[in-house]
Amino acid sequence: MSRIPATSSFRDVGPINWVICRLGARGIRAPQFHLFNALSRHSALFWAWLPFSGVLLYWGRLSRFEAELVILRVGHLRDCEYELQQHRRLARSRGVDAGLQAKVFEGPDAEGLTDRQRVLLRATDEFVLSREVSGETWAALSTYLNQRQLIEFCFLAGQYDTLAATMNTLKLPLDFPD
């Protein structure tokens, strides 16, 4: 059971947030977007978080394909089914098929990953599990990413780690029946 109401009415969140929640649900093709419904109850944080999250998810310097690798790995490490349900779908639309998703869940040593994918997943593991990236892994990651992408990687992994913790703590219901 959700700890914060995961549905929202016009009265609960106000007219603008209500519209954003409905548009978000339409965007993910679900009757409700429980994350938006819950977060919109804190309007100031919701409005601060939306553009930040949107930049990382849609307009970042990392490719959308690579961003999904990071997000899926974070969701797996944090055992966040809500995050995984959302991003398994989105990742498929960005070229991360079920086979590659399985390798992401297996980890950086999975057979069939490219060297770049291995380094990205290893850096994600270190960032999430030890709260920093080792010098060796950072040097390897730096051979593939420029400075802006390196900064973005940190924010992306951190953002989705925070979201996973928030979604797990709030116990949001899944948006899709599967």
Report pTM. 0.94
pLDDT single digits (tens) 20-70: 999 999 999 999 899 999 999 999 999 999 999 999 999 999 999 999 999
Per-position pLDDT tens, the chain of length 178: 889 887 878 888 899 999 999 999 999 999 989 999 999 999 999 999 999 999 999 999 999 999 999 999 999 999 999 999 999 999 999 999 999 999 999 999 999 999 999 999 999 999 999 999 999 999 999 999 999 999 999 999 999 999 999 999 999 999 998 7
* Distances 173 to 23, 83, 156, 163 between C-alpha atoms, Å: 19, 11, 23, 14
Confidence at residue 24, expressed as pLDDT on a 0 to 100 scale: 93
* Residue 147 CB-density burial (10 A; 0-12 exposed, 13-18 middle, 19+ buried): exposed
Which residue spans of the chain are classified as CATH 1.20.1290.10? 64-170
Count of other CB atoms within 10 angstroms of residue 57: 17
The burial of 100, by beta-carbon neighbours within 10 Å (0-12 exposed, 13-18 middle, 19 or more buried), is given as buried
> CATH code for 64-170?
1.20.1290.10
User: 60 and 152 in contact (C-beta within 8 Å)?
Assistant: yes
- What span, in angstroms and rounded, lies between the C-alpha atoms of 163 and 178? 21
